[in-house]
Structure formats: structure tokens, C-alpha cells
Structure 1
Amino acid sequence: MGVRIRDTNRIPEAIANIDRINSRSVKIGYISGGEYAGGTLTNKGKARVHEYGVDIPVTDKMRKFWVAKFGVGLKASTTHIRIPERSFLRNGSEQATPAIMAKAAELVPLAILDNVDVELLYEALGLEMRTEIQKYARALQSPPNAPLTVQQKGSSNPLIETGAMLQAMEVILQ
């Protein structure tokens, strides 16, 4: 009668899965495309403006536009129009990170043991982070829109006009 030895050591597979986990990443934000398309600000451009704010220099042409479009003349002393910083990407991701990291702490061991696909792991975490950033942006109320902006948009939410900018946020696996 012979002795049979069966090796169920899965350490090599676990190491390979750890290598796959370490070689991948996910980016959330406005990654592809430019900030302008055909002279028009894209969703990526709008996101940058809101994330960091911008000072727009007032020109004579702009003064005429304001009168024609809004029926409002800009004061002679107005040299810039300020769109304030409304950091929804940085602040939203910072607020969501503890919950996302807790979820990762649950899922990474499963991925190491090959019970969760590494691609699905990153996709799930990226999609959840995007959802949390979008929630943060929808709830953001400060700094508020100027009264003229509220009148034009019909809404006081500073980051929502059509919803297209938030919907354009990407989740890219790398």
C-alpha cells in the first residue's frame, strides 16, 4: 500500500493575485478629452472651473453681452467675474475614502484567494467612489450661486444645471 501526498498549497496563486492587484489601479474624474470642444466648455472644463474656481476678465464685449443677454449692466469697477471654488472632486473623494477603504479591506482578501475577480474589484470600488462623489456634489450648497445665476438656471444648486457634468464623470481601470 502506497502513501499518497496531495499538495493543496495555493500560495503561488495568492502571490500571483497580489501581483495583479498591485499592478492595477482605477481613476475617477474627468480624464479623457479636452476642456474645450469647438470653442465651448466641455463637462471636463466645467468640472475644472468648479473644482478650482476661476476669475474671468471683463471685456467691453462681455459688458455688451451681459446687457443683451441678462438686461444687466456690469459696473465700471467690475474687472473680473469670479466663479468660486466648489471642490466636489477633492472634498467628495476625501469624505468617501474611509468607507471605500473599508469596502476594499473586505474585498481584497477575497481577490487574493481568487474568489473575486481583480477587474471587478477595482470596477466596483471605482463605481462606488464615483457615486459617493456625485452624491456629495448634488448636496453641495456652498458657496451659493449668485442671484442672477439662480434666476437663469431656475435652481440654487451650484453644481447642477442639467446633470450632464456629473454624469460625464469617468471610472477608468488601468
Structure 2
Amino acid sequence: EVGVMIPVGNKSLAFLQMIATVNEFGAEIYPKNGPYLVIPMKDGSFRRLKHVKIPERSFLRDGIDLGIFRINELVERDLSCIMNSELTAYELYEDVGRLIQQRIKDEIKLKVTPHNAPITIENKGKDDPLVDTGALHKSI
């Protein structure tokens, strides 16, 4: 299986899956308990926002879609090995899983657009949309 599958550090699996989903498909977040979202800033201050729009940054789908040629090549090679009794179907399954896992991890590192919002850059100290602590990357 490939996906956001394991908790990392103090980040729960549910939290990492939520982060993955929000980035994969984008989201608009509105306040539930008042007129503003309250965003804690790195310097200890707070910003009040009416809503936040997080753009789609597909890394799961793009990880597969943009790597489909390599995946197909691997399957063709491994099928040939299976036909020659050099590999089992389970080993093909594992090879494909490892390749997809690596493609998704690569996509997390390579995806630089859409850029982070200025407030996010201020908080993170960098404009690296899918990388903050590295927990999402490690959870794949």
C-alpha cells in the first residue's frame, strides 16, 4: 500500500492525512466559532483572517501520473521476469509500490507552485509549499 500511512513524530496519522488531502485537492477554510480565523505567528503575535484559500498542490496524483511511463516500464520488465520464473507477482507488487512511493516523495520535494501565501512564508521562513517539518514526506 502507498499513501499517507504512518504517523511521524508528534504528528498523528489523521493530522497528516488531513494535511495531505488539503494540499492534494485544495481547500477553503472559514471560521466556525467567530468572524475570524486566528493564525498564530512565529513571533508570538496573531493574525485574524476572514478565510484562507489553500490551492491544490497535487503530489499523490501527480506522483503517479507524471511517473506512469516509469511505472509501466517497471511492470513490463517485472512481467518478463515473472514469465521467466525470476520474480513472483508479489515481488512485482512490491517493486511497483516502492516506485510509486518514491515518485510521491519526489513530487513533494519538487512541487514549488503554487507558492505559499506571504503569511505562510513568514511563519515557515521559506516558500516550500509541501515541506515544513518533513513529516508528510516521511509518512509516505
TM class by shorter chain equals 0.7 to 0.9
Deviation at 1:64, TM superposition (A): 7.0
What is the number of residues matched between the two proteins?
Answer: 135
Q: Which residue of 1 aligns with 2:102?
A: 131
Q: Which residue of 2 aligns with 1:52?
A: 25
Check 1:114–1:62 CA distance in 2 against 1; reply closer, same or farther (3 A cut): farther
Letter in 2 for 1:57: Y
Report SS of the residue matched to 1:72: strand
Unpaired runs of at least 5, structure 2 = none
Does residue 1:146 correspond to 2:136, yes or no?
no
CA deviation map 1:60-84 (0-9, x unaligned): 647373378543333xxx3x21111
- Asked if 1 retains the 8 angstrom alpha-carbon contact of 2:111 and 2:130, the reply is yes
1:114 to 85, 103, 110: 85
In the TM superposition, 1:63-142 aligns within 5 A as 63=36, 65-66=38-39, 70-74=45-49, 78=50, 80-142=51-113
Deviation at 1:111, TM superposition (A): 1.2
Say which one has the larger Rg: 1
Deviation at 1:112, TM superposition (A): 2.4
Q: Provide TM-score, normalisation by structure 1.
A: 0.67
Distance 1:61 1:140 in 2: 34
Distance 1:52 1:66 in 2: 22
Between the aligned residues of both structures, percent identity stands at: 26
Letter in 1 for 2:62: N
- Asked if 1 retains the 8 angstrom alpha-carbon contact of 2:23 and 2:55, the reply is yes
Q: Which residue of 1 aligns with 2:4?
A: 30
Q: Which residue of 1 aligns with 2:16?
A: 43
Report SS of the residue matched to 1:42: helix
Distance 1:123 1:146 in 2: 38
Deviation at 1:51, TM superposition (A): 0.5
- Asked if 2 retains the 8 angstrom alpha-carbon contact of 1:55 and 1:81, the reply is yes
- Asked if 1 retains the 8 angstrom alpha-carbon contact of 2:30 and 2:37, the reply is no
Report SS of the residue matched to 1:30: coil
Unpaired runs of at least 5, structure 1 = 1-26, 170-174
Q: Provide TM-score, normalisation by structure 2.
A: 0.81
- Asked if 2 retains the 8 angstrom alpha-carbon contact of 1:88 and 1:136, the reply is yes
Check 1:53–1:70 CA distance in 2 against 1; reply closer, same or farther (3 A cut): farther
